[in-house]
Amino acid sequence: MTTGFGSRVSNKIGITTAVLTVAFLSVFASLYVLNPSGLEQRRVYIDIHTGRHKVVRQLLFLTTAEETNETTFSKLWLSFHGSYPVPEWENEMTLSWFNRGRSPNYGYLGANRWREWIVDAVETRVFDTCTQQAVVAAFVKHLESGVPSSARDYAADVLTLANECSQCGRILSNVPAWLTNGTSAPK
């Protein structure tokens, strides 16, 4: 009798485990069918030489797609240099599978915004072409230095100067040395 009772309990545990496994897999599969991005992770990278950006999509741990995109900044960089060098990708952010939350604080988090500050500064048309080229090169040098905060600070200083000149209607003919050599603006 004990053998029969134990085998019935064992069968019930086995059936329960099987049912729970099927239920879990069904929920997991339906999540993917209804919202595949819920199981997906996106990593966004910046090419520190040119400002291009790359998005890598992963489903669980398998790469499902990878796309490299030009940005307004990288097109500006390209107009001065003619062709892209071999990229050096730095992680800018990661969007996770389930919570879709922001990534940990990578050093280059926000680099997309800093690139756009440089583009906005150039588009104010207060700098001549040589100065624009120097500003783009200095910003890239900051990105390449491995100290992303210096790139952020430089981009903010450049945009501030461009906006101040633009509001006054001035076009800079004599630019401050910090602008072309990439050092910090005097405070």
Q: Distance between CA atoms of 31 and 19, rounded to whole angstroms?
A: 18
- Return the structure tokens found at 99: 């919570």
Sign of CA dihedral 54, 60, 61, 62: negative
* DSSP H or E run through 7: helix 2-34
Q: What is the pLDDT of residue 50?
A: 96
Span 55-103, pLDDT tens digits: 999 887 789 999 999 999 999 999 999 999 999 999 998 877 665 555 5
pLDDT of 1: 46
pLDDT digits (tens, 9 = 90+) for 120-135: 999 999 999 999 999 9
- For the chain, the average pLDDT equals 83
172: CB partners within 8 A, 6+ apart: 126, 127, 128, 131, 165
- The domains of the chain are located at 2-34, 38-181
DSSP string across 84-130: -----EEEEEEE-SSS-PPPP--TTTTHHHHHHHHHHHHHTT-S-HH
pLDDT band at 47 (very low <50, low <70, confident <90, very high): very high
Q: What is the pLDDT of residue 123?
A: 94
